[in-house]
Amino acid sequence: MARGFESKSVESQRQDAEAELAARGTRKDEDREAIDRRKQREALQLSRRRIVHELEETKSDRRREQLRAALAHLDGELSRL
C-alpha cells in the first residue's frame, strides 16, 4: 500500500514539474535575453576596469589616448545596455 502511495506522489511531483516548465516556456526567451544582457554588461564592466587600471599605470601619452578612446567606446556600449 505504501508503494502505491509513493508512486502517486512521484507522479504528482513529475506533473507539477512539467506544469512549471510549461509555464516557464513562455518566459524562457525573456529570461535568456536578460541573462545574455547581464553577461554582456559584466564583460563590458570587466573590460572597463582593466582599461582604467591600464590608464592609471601607463606612462605613454599615445597609449593613454588609445585607452581613453577604448574607455569612451565601452562607456557608450554600457549606456546602450
**Taking 80 as the threshold, does the pLDDT of residue 6 lie above it?**
no
pLDDT tens sequence across 60-78? 999 999 999 999 999 999 9
The answer for 12, left when phi > 0, alpha when psi is -120 to 50, beta otherwise, is: alpha
Identify which of 23, 16, 46 has the alpha carbon closest to the alpha carbon of residue 31.
Answer: 23
% the chain with pLDDT above 70: 75
How much is the pLDDT for 1? 47
* Residue extents of the structural domains in the chain: 2-80
Q: 16-23 long-range contacts, Cβ below 8 Å, gap at least 24? A: none
pLDDT tens sequence across 29-50? 668 888 999 999 999 999 999 9
Identify which of 41, 34, 49 has the alpha carbon closest to the alpha carbon of residue 78.
Answer: 41
Considering the entire predicted model, what is its pTM?
Answer: 0.60
- HSE-CB at 59 with a 13 A cutoff on CA atoms is 0
pLDDT level of residue 5 (50, 70, 90 thresholds): low
